[in-house]
Amino acid sequence: MTERTRTRAQARRERTLDQVRRAETAALVRSDIAHAAIALHGTPVLLLDPERVRRQYRRLEAALPFVAFHYAVKALSHPAVIDALAEEGCGFDVATGEELTLVSGVPRDRIIHTHPIKKPSEIRAAIADGIRTFVVDNETELEKFAGAPEDVRLLVRLAYRSPNAKSDLSSKFGLGPFEAERLVIRALERGIRVCGFSFHVGSQLDDPGRFVTAIERTLRLLDRLEAILPVRLDTLDIGGGFPVAYDAAVTDLETLADRIRSVLEPRADRLRILAEPGRILAAEAMTLVTSVVGVAERPDGRWYYLDDGVYGSYSNVIAEDVHPLVFALRDLDACPPADAAHRWATLAGPTCDSADVIAREVLLPDLRVGDLLASPAMGAYTSVTATRFNGREATPIAIVGTGVRTGEVRTASSLQTVP
Ligand SMILES: Cc1ncc(COP(=O)(O)O)c(C=O)c1O
């Protein structure tokens, strides 16, 4: 394929994504329940549909039926998401004692603790709470498990660098194969039980080959260590990283799963295979609705100032360098939005910091103060990483999923009736 045809094909896929996201956003924001949520909370408001989380979980399960999924609570720790996944039978991956309290109703054998560095007191509390699977990647951490109950099982975290991922999760944690071998030997010497390996190929990584390589290398290491050491390594945790289409199409879940299945399925009868997806389950379940609070003409064109920004729900723009789509609500049927009244604009957040810029060169109709905008796929790593900078309140989350009647808009902690 020439560069030119590739670029055209890519542009076509992106146009399709734009159309799909506009249609989904239109259906949501025009629903009675979304109107009720916006009427109740004003803007900004995050509209959360837990049904979409369920749907994504079912897709994952169907695509990789031999994998035990543990939702990475850090992506979006809202109780409605946790309840929906717990009902579906999903497990949970927690990184802190605080996250563990969020899944208090879930059977403990469905929870894994995957932070490679933990306070000793946190380990003690988690063990007392019934958690039995933990992750280590160094000798100091391993020593914290000396004398732990016999059924505590440790996974050694491996590093597979992914410069193309939005977040390379092997730059801070993880071991190479030789260091991992030394750690397993050390655990054997200390009588601490290591049951296998975990890794994370990097978050928002659109590269099926990286998953395949990481799995193959880990299986080779596992086979080698079982051959030379008196150890049974029966668990492989393939982490998270499954990508989401923000402003560009990505490999779809089923295609990625096919590649993973080809290397993993033959081993599924002897191995307990885990995964810790976060983004793929949560991202598409939440839509942000904001409004314009200011308009200015600057030397580089029109600027719109919104009532949420990168210090709030758009924290993913800064922390992860993802680029959520932003649509004007009255423009949702226009695709492509090309009439003469449209112009390229910069979108900024409400704080006084110059870094609070959400997006540049967004094609928008003429907007006025009070006009509404929406960003789809705002469920993962948004509200959880938002700050209170400039004294701003956290953006409320309203549940708008199937089963919620127009008169009821559930917030995080209460059920309120819209007059
Ligand atoms: C240890 C661990 N597991 C799982 C996840 C979830 O990854 P993702 O949201 O890319 O699926 C993360 C993300 O930071 C992580 O650090």
Domain parsing of the chain, residue ranges: 13-48+283-417, 51-282
The CA distance from 35 to 91, in Å, is 34
Answer whether the bond into residue 376 is a cis peptide, omega within 30°.
no
Most confident of 111-120, 198-207, 326-335: 111-120
pLDDT on residue 341: 76
Q: Return phi, psi of residue 380, to 5°.
A: -105, 130
Cα of 353 vs centre of ligand 1, distance in Å, is 29
Question: Of 285, 219, 251, 306, which is closest to residue 75 (Cα–Cα)?
Answer: 285
Two tokens at 196? 């296998």
Cα of 354 vs centre of ligand 1, distance in Å, is 30
Query: 239 in ligand 1 pocket by Cβ < 6 Å?
Result: yes
Are 47 and 398 a contacting pair, CB within 8 Å?
yes
Query: 404 in ligand 1 pocket by Cβ < 6 Å?
Result: no
Cα of 5 vs centre of ligand 1, distance in Å, is 35
Atom of ligand 1 nearest to the CA of 202: 10
Cα of 38 vs centre of ligand 1, distance in Å, is 31
Two tokens at 102? 């969020």
Averaged pLDDT for residues 300-318: 97
Are 66 and 267 a contacting pair, CB within 8 Å?
no
Residue in 114, 276, 322 to alter for ligand 1 test, most ligand atoms within 8 A of Cβ = 276
Summarised one tens digit per residue, pLDDT across range 363-417 is 999 999 999 999 999 999 999 999 999 999 999 999 997 545 445 444 433 333 3
Cα of 171 vs centre of ligand 1, distance in Å, is 13
The CA distance from 92 to 82, in Å, is 9
Summarised one tens digit per residue, pLDDT across range 131-151 is 999 999 999 999 999 999 999
pLDDT on residue 172: 87
Answer whether the bond into residue 350 is a cis peptide, omega within 30°.
no
Cα of 281 vs centre of ligand 1, distance in Å, is 11
Res. 336 pLDDT band, cuts 50 70 90:
low
Atom of ligand 1 nearest to the CA of 276: 4
**pLDDT at residue 219 above 90?**
yes
Are 15 and 336 a contacting pair, CB within 8 Å?
yes
Residue in 56, 67, 74, 167 to alter for ligand 1 test, most ligand atoms within 8 A of Cβ = 74
Query: 201 in ligand 1 pocket by Cβ < 6 Å?
Result: no
Query: 241 in ligand 1 pocket by Cβ < 6 Å?
Result: yes
Residue in 200, 286, 381 to alter for ligand 1 test, most ligand atoms within 8 A of Cβ = 200
Two tokens at 321? 């360098």
Atom of ligand 1 nearest to the CA of 203: 10
Residue type at position 177: P
Question: Of 201, 289, 278, which is closest to residue 244 (Cα–Cα)?
Answer: 278
Atom of ligand 1 nearest to the CA of 279: 9
Summarised one tens digit per residue, pLDDT across range 228-243 is 999 999 999 999 999 9
51-282: CATH topology is TIM Barrel (3.20.20)
Summarised one tens digit per residue, pLDDT across range 119-128 is 999 999 999 9
When computed from its CA atoms, the radius of gyration of the chain, rounded to whole angstroms, is 23
Averaged pLDDT for residues 314-333: 94
Share of the chain above pLDDT 70, in %: 90
Nearest CA to ligand 1 atom 14: 203
Cα of 196 vs centre of ligand 1, distance in Å, is 18
pLDDT on residue 164: 73
Active site residues: 352
Averaged pLDDT for residues 165-189: 89
The CA distance from 104 to 129, in Å, is 9
Kindly report the number of other CB atoms within 10 A of residue 62's CB atom.
11
DSSP 64: S
Averaged pLDDT for residues 108-114: 97
Query: 75 in ligand 1 pocket by Cβ < 6 Å?
Result: yes
State the virtual CA torsion across 234, 238, 240, 244 in degrees, nearest 10. -140
| Strand pairing category for 67-72 and 272-275 | parallel
pLDDT on residue 247: 93
Res. 340 pLDDT band, cuts 50 70 90:
low
Q: Which CATH architecture has domain 13-48+283-417?
A: Beta Barrel (2.40)
Atom of ligand 1 nearest to the CA of 381: 9
